[in-house]
Amino acid sequence: MSTAEGSHRAEPDPRRWKALAVTLTAGFMVLLDVSIVNVALPSMQADLGASAGGVQWVVSGYALTFGLVLVAGGRLGDALGRRRMFLIALTGFVATSALAGIAPNEVLLIVARLLQGMAGGLLTPQNTGLIQELFSGPERGRAFGMFGAVVGISTAVGPVLGGVILAVFGDPEGWRWVFYVNIPIGALALVLAARLLPKSPRSVRGLRSELDFVGALLLGLAVAAVLFPVMEAEQGGLGKLWWLFPIAVVLGALFVWRERRLVRLERAPLLDIRLFTTVRGFSSGATLGSVYFCAFTGIWLVFAMFFQQGLGFTPLESGLAVTPFAVGSAVSAVIAGRLVERWGRRLTVTGLSMVVLGMVGSGVAVLVFPAEHAGLAIALPLLIGGIGGGMVISPNTTLTLECVPTEMAGVAGGALQTGQRIGTAIGTATLASVFHAAVSGTGKDYPVALAVSMGCAAGLTAVALGLGIFELRRRRVAVGGQRSVFADSPSG
């Protein structure tokens, strides 16, 4: 597989930055829906009379179908045109958001969220594919910096925006506006995307030739077999459904065997395994991203439980308490996107070190300071962690996708996001379980439970840091060989 730098077009699309702004707005909305509903779950349960386990699937169902279709969505974008797939997926997301908002009962709400997650999973890989298509050279680094900022900020500000919406629209049906706000934003993005996104030719071979349906089924079942027990962890899913993990391994092995066979037969695979074996930096970057998301995304649920259950904060107050992380991440992600060409993997190593410091600092702060001052006590550690977090996601995305051929950009972005979604599910379940166990084991000492959970998150982040250091050293050894525009400088 050859190294590609971009579309090599003589004249870049003059509307590329406007197009990027539109796609990132839609991407922000889709990724925001992963976390924004967390603070609304109690309101949903009270208004619909839903069970605790059932309403939890409002979160879990979205994450499950989102992760299932990411790779297939990327492949469809590569084959059918990213503009076409973006418009189809965004239309579906707006429609399913309306369906979720009007849901009269728990069952229809869960169904709407399953469909909404599927639409979101089809849309997300088009963002990375369009960046690969529209930008090259240093501009691509800046574009991925903005994309990384969207990924990080959407996760961090979800609790804040959810709390604001509930505070504005109130009970009992304020939760519906968590979904309704997607409709005007999505409709406007749809109109602008139709005008600004470049048209791309449809494959002459047809959908059946381009998309490996059997491979998509195998990969989807493998991902589901991993995610389902994890999502049911609080209901004893890990103990009851552990047998799905070895099934996932078997399905994954069958998927890899099939994709390699299709390549040998010169047919179009769903996911070309050579992405992981021959494209420099893709495998290590995707692994680093998955481990980091395992550590990073789970802390928001832990903070929400700490502030709301332990200290009696409102959803809005709980969300505002973690705002410093979002602010730090927003600023540093954009700056890091401009520096990645020069500093490369050193940015992620530095950023991961700061995230570890911020997590450990937050855990120590709640033990040292009185509970009533916990929000202020964690502000500085979270700001440090947020600055570091912004230096992780956008540079890692750029460095992971830098050598991916443009014609495979969509499926590569889907694979990268799939790893992040799996990491999110595992991390959220793990940290929530650690927090609940610590609360029970300490007689409801919530500060100690938070400190233990943050220590666990810091340990996971340290694993990602080790991967980053390994990749940094490997790149230094590789200097002098084949390089891309975004390769690390000779000094590291």
Domain co-membership, 232 together with 288? no
pLDDT for res 115: 94
Q: Work out the mean pLDDT of the chain and round it to a whole number.
A: 83
What pTM was estimated for this model as a whole? 0.78
Least confident piece of the model among 17-21, 28-32, 445-449: 28-32
Domain hosting residue 232, numbered range: 213-269
Q: Which two tokens stand for residue 351?
A: 């950023």
57 vs 231: which has the higher pLDDT:
57
Given a cut of 60, whether residue 71 has pLDDT beyond it is yes
Residue whose token pair is 């610590």: 438
Separation CA 322–CA 340 (nearest Å): 27
Separation CA 32–CA 404 (nearest Å): 27
Quick: pLDDT tens for 324-355.
Answer: 988 888 888 878 877 877 888 899 999 999 99
Domain co-membership, 89 together with 21? yes
Quick: pLDDT tens for 296-308.
Answer: 888 888 898 899 8
Separation CA 94–CA 115 (nearest Å): 11
pLDDT for res 210: 64
3-state secondary structure 148-186: HHHHHHHHHHHHHHHHHHHHHHCCCCHHHHHHHCHHHHH
pLDDT for res 209: 62
Domain co-membership, 228 together with 111? no
Separation CA 400–CA 411 (nearest Å): 13
Confirm whether 9 is domain-assigned: no
pLDDT for res 478: 61
Domain count, the chain: 2
Domain co-membership, 262 together with 274? no
Domain co-membership, 177 together with 100? yes
Confirm whether 379 is domain-assigned: yes
pLDDT tier at 487, thresholds 50, 70, 90: very low
Could you tell me which of 52, 181, 176 has the C-alpha nearest to residue 104?
176
Q: Is 76 exposed, middle or buried (0-12, 13-18, 19+ CB in 10 A)?
A: buried
Separation CA 393–CA 262 (nearest Å): 32
Separation CA 114–CA 108 (nearest Å): 10
Over its C-alpha atoms, the chain yields an Rg (Å, rounded) of: 22
- What's the CATH number where 109 sits? 1.20.1250.20
Confirm whether 327 is domain-assigned: yes
Domain co-membership, 155 together with 231? no
Separation CA 292–CA 297 (nearest Å): 8
pLDDT for res 492: 40
88 vs 215: which has the higher pLDDT:
88
Determine what percent of the chain is predicted with pLDDT higher than 70. Answer: 90
Domain co-membership, 90 together with 225? no
Determine what percent of the chain is predicted with pLDDT higher than 90. Answer: 30
Confirm whether 2 is domain-assigned: no
Domain co-membership, 382 together with 464? yes
> Which among 269, 289, 314 is the end of a domain?
269
Domain co-membership, 234 together with 185? no
pLDDT for res 11: 73
Domain co-membership, 252 together with 389? no
Confirm whether 8 is domain-assigned: no
Domain co-membership, 264 together with 305? no
Ranked by mean pLDDT, the top range of 33-42, 153-162, 309-318, 463-472 is 463-472
pLDDT for res 91: 96
pLDDT for res 195: 92
416 vs 230: which has the higher pLDDT:
416
Quick: pLDDT tens for 442-483.
Answer: 888 999 999 999 999 999 999 999 999 988 888 776 654 444
pLDDT for res 429: 78
pLDDT tier at 263, thresholds 50, 70, 90: confident
Confirm whether 95 is domain-assigned: yes
Separation CA 183–CA 227 (nearest Å): 29
pLDDT for res 207: 59
296 vs 380: which has the higher pLDDT:
380
**C-alpha triplet 270, 276, 281: angle, nearest 5°:** 135
Given a cut of 50, whether residue 29 has pLDDT beyond it is yes
What is 20-84 written as a DSSP string?
HHHHHHHHHHHHHHHHGGGGGHHHHHHHHT--HHHHHHHHHHHHHHHHHHHHHHHHHHHHH-HHH
pLDDT for res 138: 76
Least confident piece of the model among 50-64, 200-214, 283-297: 200-214
455 vs 433: which has the higher pLDDT:
455
Q: Which amino acid makes up residue 218? A: L
> Which among 224, 245, 269 is the end of a domain?
269
